[in-house]
Amino acid sequence: MFIGIDHGTTAMRFAGDSGEFKLSREAAKEFVIADLGRICPLNKIEGVAVCYSMGDNFSRITRVGKVRDRGLVSREGAGKHVGGGTRVFDEVAASGIPAIAIPGLHRGSPTDPRFKAYSHQASPEKIGIAYEVSRDLGSDVIVSDISSNTVTLLVSGGRLVGAFDACIFAPGTLHGALDVDAIRKIDSGECTANEAFQHAGVNFSLPDEERLRTIALFAAMECAAMRLLNTGARIALAGSLAPVVAPEVGSLLGSNIAVYDEWCASRGLAKIARDIFSGRREILGLDVDL
């Protein structure tokens, strides 16, 4: 049995072939490795793929024991720091169960160098999403993960080409890019940049009736932008809002849209663990270091 662990914005999700469960980030502060027994007996676990925050100080899928500082350049940055993800990562690392850490996409990653205009492209769990979707739809896919924030990735020829991170383009419900008003508030000392990022989603900027339509529009725009690099790529949405906004996104793009739910990342991560511990040494163009 192989298990994937998704470090999401609001929850930690755990998936394997025989089951899945999730914990809020707050509840995950009490996680113990025995909790994985909710999926299968611990002695049946052959490998785990785990994510942690941005995953920006390494670029290869790496055995957990080789990763420095849980894979981070710094704990400072865009996002909410709770402690649940730290607890889960450390419990897995100390458990003795074979485990790999998944990197994020950043300037050290083997993506199209033009995406490196920005320091960060996507957090590690998005690799799980891309793997799950590409195994279903083929080697040329665009996938937008839509929930608290929106992140869109492109896979061409079975390799990750690049991604739009949450703080660059499309908003989610909570997070988004920093506009002129946000920059002014930061400069005046009203808030930090991270606080501004966490209040840049449509829940804070638009009336209820416009929020989902706006998320759909910007997600469709990100997908359309990725089409510049692969006109034949199939399009998928993942995340908690995917089923809700898919009809509007499909209408805007004039395309059929495949829809995945909030478990897409953890399921994909479980498949990455299975394939790597079965001998594979490359995932979507990312090398493996065991």
Domain edges within the chain: 2-173+205-289
Q: What is the mean pLDDT of the chain?
A: 94
State the pLDDT at residue 270. 97
Q: pLDDT per residue over 198-234, tens digit each?
A: 999 999 999 999 999 999 999 999 999 999 999 999 9
Q: pLDDT per residue over 28-45, tens digit each?
A: 999 999 999 999 999 999
CA 179 from chain center: how many Å?
23
State the pLDDT at residue 81. 63
241 strand-pairing partners? none
Q: At what angle do helices 242-253 and 208-227 cross, to 10 degrees?
A: 60
Closest by CA position to 249, among listed 166, 146, 135: 146
Q: pLDDT per residue over 54-99, tens digit each?
A: 889 999 999 999 998 888 886 665 556 667 888 999 999 999 999 9
Measured distance CA(144)–CA(237) in Å, rounded:
5
- Can you give the pTM of this predicted structure? 0.93
160 strand-pairing partners? 155
State the pLDDT at residue 80. 60
State the pLDDT at residue 122. 96
| Two structure tokens written together for 231 | 């006109």
pLDDT-based confidence at residue 279 (cuts at 50, 70, 90): very high
Range with the poorest average pLDDT among 73-87, 105-119, 267-281: 73-87
Helix (H, G, I), strand (E, B) or coil at 155: strand
Cα angle 70, 73, 74; round to 5: 90
Q: pLDDT per residue over 115-142, tens digit each?
A: 999 999 999 999 999 999 999 999 999 9
Report CA-CA distances (Å) from 3 to 34, 46, 139: 13, 8, 23
At 153, which amino acid appears? Answer: L
State the pLDDT at residue 73. 84
Asked if residues 47 and 66 have their Cβ atoms less than 8 Å apart, the reply is no
More confident residue, 68 or 9: 68
State the pLDDT at residue 82. 65
Radius of gyration of the chain (CA): 18
Closest by CA position to 76, among listed 177, 197, 200: 197
Tell me which CATH code domain 2-173+205-289 carries: 3.30.420.40
